[in-house]
Amino acid sequence: MVQEEIKKLTEFLHYHAHQYYVLDMPEISDYEYDMALRKLKALEEEYPEFKDPASPTSRVGGQVSEGFESVEHQVPMQSLNDAFSREEVMEFDERVAATLGEPYAYSVEYKIDGLSVSLEYENGVFFRGSTRGDGKTGEDVTQNLKTIHSIPLKLKEAVPYLEVRGEVFISKKDFEALNAQREKDGDPLFANARNAAAGSLRQLDSSIAAKRRLDVFIFNIQRVEGKTFATHHEGLSFLAEMGFKTVPHKGVYSTAEDAFSRVMEIGEERENLSFDIDGAVLKVDNLHQREVLGSTSKCPRWAVAYKFPAETKKTKLVDIVLQVGRTGAITPNAVLEAVQVAGSTVRRATLHNMDYINEKDIMIGDTVYVRKAGDIIPEIVEVAKEERTGAEKQFMMPEFCPECGEKIERVEGEAVYRCTGSNCPAQMQRNLEHFASRDAMDIEGLGPAVVEQLTEAGLIHSAADLYDLTKEQLVGLERFGEKSAENLLSSIEASKERDLARVLFALGIRLNGQRSSMLLAKAFGSMDRLMEQTEDSLKAVHEIGDKTASYVFEYFQNPHNRELIEKLKQAGVNMEHQEVADSTEKLLGKKFVITGKFEGISRNEATELVEKNGGSVAGSVSKKTDYVLAGEDAGSKLDKAQALGVPVLTIDEFLSMLD
């Protein structure tokens, strides 16, 4: 009878999870649910032969993967063409009308700002989930998706095969709570809810994903066996009956005008929704008509995404404070009355430099309009000058550094002011943060809060001191137990093997970025050879500009810098360039510009792929550019490429060049 009890508990928990997470209509308390789950888990551990493959206990996570397997999408997970105006939507409608030549209707839905995934079911049981990737190939993230309570592990009907597409997201409330906890723990904050969802779904340890309170909306049937549907709306209704949490408040409209009116309504609703959207989607509702319209290699011709402009909010500028960067650059930042913008609470915004402040006529006490540039970095768009009272105060750059008291200077021809103090504590803090950052030495666990803790304790004064830290020193600090101390020391030890290019970038030499660090590492092969170079020999390296060469040369002439490098060398940090084993010459001599956002791959990773295969990456488009690799929100670089006739590649077209 144990088998029957396990079955009843499993069904009981599936039912109440659906009531709570999908319908938002709980019928029992959290305590009752937790007690039933605990009882089921105990029975399954004692009688594993009776455990249901779709048991609710699998949602807690805990499986750690070495990596993600690739999944080939049988139905491509295409992206959508974007529209930014009513005119562009009507042009889309004209193309649909011309092709179909018969009445049609549009389904209009929220465009959820999350990460697109595929969910596959066999005989009604969830067996695989994957990311979109490049649209053709994604990553198997089944274990992480199982932790999402709104994904049914077992459908209400044993459909032979079903593949659906949805968007994984984190609600605004849960995102705020997640960032509040990370701030408390001293971890870096997520820039927005979408990044948090994407990062959570790609955790190798599924127990981490389980803690992130991920959610999902299902918006399409990719493939189905044993069922047929005439319309998209009919298919979504079926999915809701099966237990899926489908995209809410969808409607069907018989004209493009009515559909666009609904899009505008969605724009008004955006601020009050519990989740982030970045637009609305119009889809031809009839599935046969979709087949007639067809698709390009990248996008369906039966749908368009209307993208809303960046959300702008009004708030008060309370103060202007200064931040001293690792090169001594002093950046003014606006302190704002807290305001919700694009899914997170904004309390500060960069003001860039004094020219920016003067150009926008920004004063302390102003009412200002704030938005997130690229949905990530808060910035002030303009001042509500009509709301000035006369109590506002002009901001002036001080004469001395607020951190060390040394003189502040503005170099002729530059917009930025700099601290002249060679021992400025703020510069040391930022330098250490940069040294440990992901693109530099990639020392996991050494975030800003830990760097500050170590410097305040007097344990580190330069990057070289990191390699002298001991377990005993760390365990004595707040938030450091034996395990966390061991993890940090292991990460510091692993950083000794980084390539010379990363070491060069980590040093924080002014104007020397990742690209120039790689070029210098390749050109000279070792730190010793690089330090021997003259300014002219540095300039002779292809793509190294005069200013970069000058700053690199000056850096190595400084005795303090040479002493730091010698200490790093003595600590065992690698000072040689290591050629990548699997490099090729498939892109030899080709110049790329990379712009926009990509799913499944970062711009840094795309840059590494170009360079590993013999190509080079530039920051701006010119007639000498061979290809522009363009993702979503590509902007002006894409426009310039099209104007110059430079070939534009999608991410899957780029990856196919490397196959």
Catalytic residue numbers read 111
The amino acid sitting at 642 is: Q
Tokens of 364: 């302390």
pLDDT, position 64:
47
Angle at which helices 2-17 and 30-46 cross, to 10°: 150
Polymer length of the chain: 659
Low-confidence residues in the chain, pLDDT < 70? 17-18, 20-24, 30-31, 34, 58-67, 343, 373-376, 580-583, 600, 659
The CA angle 314-315-321, to the nearest 5 degrees, is 135
CA–CA separation, 614 and 591 (whole Å): 10
pLDDT, position 597:
82
CA–CA separation, 107 and 243 (whole Å): 21
pLDDT, position 374:
59
Tokens of 618: 């530039």
Identify the CA nearest to 304 among candidates 93, 102, 598, 87.
93
pLDDT, position 105:
97
Burial 279-314 (b: 16+ CB within 10 A, else e): bbbbbbbbbebbebbeeeeebbbbbbbbbbeebebe
pLDDT, position 20:
63
The amino acid sitting at 74 is: Q
Q: What are the Cα distances from residue 534, in Å, to 51, 402, 504, 558?
A: 71, 36, 17, 14
pLDDT, position 553:
95
Identify the CA nearest to 241 among candidates 141, 162, 171.
162
pLDDT digits (tens, 9 = 90+) for 592-635: 999 888 876 778 788 888 888 878 888 788 888 889 998 877 77
